[in-house]
Amino acid sequence: MSRARWLTHFGLDALPFAKDIDDADLWLPSRRAALVDQLVDAVHERQHVTLTGEPGVGKTCTLRALRERLPDAGFRLTYCHNATLGRRDFYRQLCLALGLSPKATAAAVFYAVGAHIEELGRERVHPVLLLDEAHLLHQDVLDHLHVLANYEWDSRPLLSLVLVGLPELNDRMRLHRNRSLWSRIHCRLALGEAAPEDTVEYIDARMRDAGAKQSPFDSDALTMLHEATLGRLRDIDHIATDCLKRAARRKLKRIDAALVQTVAKDCA
Ligand SMILES: Nc1ncnc2c1ncn2[C@@H]1O[C@H](COP(=O)(O)OP(=O)(O)O)[C@@H](O)[C@H]1O
Ligand SMILES: [Mg+2]
């Protein structure tokens, strides 16, 4: 397949800011790597976890980094991203994700999931339930999660819940009503504000991975990109890609702050 003209213009052999990046190629500077370490440790210790951050900061990619780090033999990861279901449909979805046939009643579904988790426990496989977009979970699902995680009189940590979502997930968890679940989550992680150096490093890393010999963004352009995006990676992907395309159309080899500003305004 022939390459898009803007890729050829910048000497790139792949889309530099695409989302289909291999788990093993994720950009993990030391602060992010430390967060992945905490997540890995928590799951090894069979804890429950929350991971919060603004849209596009890299939460779901952090889960993929976790997947890359956990040995297949001892862990069974189940990823659920449709958080907008009521309790019964949530458990049906979970049944399907676990390879179980969905049952008719809520109680039967709950029983099937619980029995499967106990079975995995006997096989020394630790199931990890990754609930993405967890700030959207129905209250009746949240009400029930700590019940799902209760085995043998709440004495056996047979399941780790990893709840991932926007910062308002923390506000929801702190509600009086959710205290049974919140009090069981000891590992509370956040992907916080990015520093300007993070933005520079990220753009550099992704351009290099796509085959660039030299990044076309000048230093003022990088500062402007950081200011326009607050370092949120999905926004960087979007604006940086648009800058590359526009620069290529104008046959420019360098991207300056003025171009970034124009693109950022158009993308806003
Ligand atoms: N560690 C990473 N390495 C490379 N690219 C990343 C990384 N984290 C995020 N990205 C980029 O940012 C985009 C948004 O990340 P994502 O994890 O989906 O954000 P969130 O889940 O916080 O909304 C991804 O599609 C990817 O292009
Ligand atoms: Mg996400």
Q: How many CB atoms lie within 10 A of CB 239?
A: 21
Strand pairing of 49-52 and 187-190? parallel
Over the stretch 159-172, which tens digit does the pLDDT of each residue have? 999 999 999 999 99
DSSP tag of 220: H
Indicate if ligand 1 lies below 6 Å from the C-beta of 63: no
Tell me the whole-structure pTM to 2 decimals: 0.94
Indicate if ligand 1 lies below 6 Å from the C-beta of 16: no
Q: How many CB atoms lie within 10 A of CB 91?
A: 24
Confidence of residue 2 (pLDDT cuts 50, 70, 90): low
Indicate if ligand 1 lies below 6 Å from the C-beta of 187: no
What gap in Å lies between CA 89 and CA 69, rounded to an integer? 30
* Distance from chain centroid for Cα 19: 12
Q: SS3 of 264, please?
A: helix
1: pLDDT strictly greater than 90 = no
Indicate if ligand 1 lies below 6 Å from the C-beta of 26: yes
- For residue 116, which phi and psi values (nearest 5 degrees)? -65, -40
What gap in Å lies between CA 138 and CA 124, rounded to an integer? 31
| Tokens coding 225 | 């990109």
- Say what percent of the chain tops pLDDT 90: 76
- 77: CA distance to ligand 1 center in Å? 19
Secondary structure tally for the chain: helices H, strands E: 12, 5
CATH class of 30-190: alpha beta
The correct CATH number of 194-267 out of 1.10.10, 1.10.357, 1.10.8, 3.40.50 is 1.10.8
Q: How many CB atoms lie within 10 A of CB 20?
A: 6
What gap in Å lies between CA 125 and CA 24, rounded to an integer? 23
Domain locations in the chain as residue ranges? 30-190, 194-267
CA 99-151-131 angle, to 5 degrees, is 50
- 199: CA distance to ligand 1 center in Å? 13
- 103: CA distance to ligand 2 center in Å? 29
| Tokens coding 75 | 């862990």
Residue with tokens 């076309």: 216
61: pLDDT strictly greater than 60 = yes
224 Cβ neighbours under 8 A, 6+ residues apart: 257, 260, 261, 264
DSSP readout, 42-99? HHHTT--EEEE-STTSSHHHHHHHHHHHS-TTTEEEEEE------HHHHHHHHHHHTT
**Integer angstrom CA distances of residue 74 from 69, 113, 121, 155:** 12, 19, 10, 20
Per-residue pLDDT, 103: 79
Mean pLDDT, range 174-184, rounded to an integer:
96
Over the stretch 114-165, which tens digit does the pLDDT of each residue have? 999 999 999 999 999 999 999 999 999 999 898 888 877 777 789 999 999 9
Strand pairing of 160-165 and 126-131? parallel
Over the stretch 234-263, which tens digit does the pLDDT of each residue have? 999 999 999 999 999 999 999 999 999 999
Domains 30-190 and 194-267 share a fold: no
| Average pLDDT score over the chain | 93
Mutational pocket test of ligand 1: of 203, 233, 241, the residue with most ligand atoms within 8 Å of the beta carbon: 233
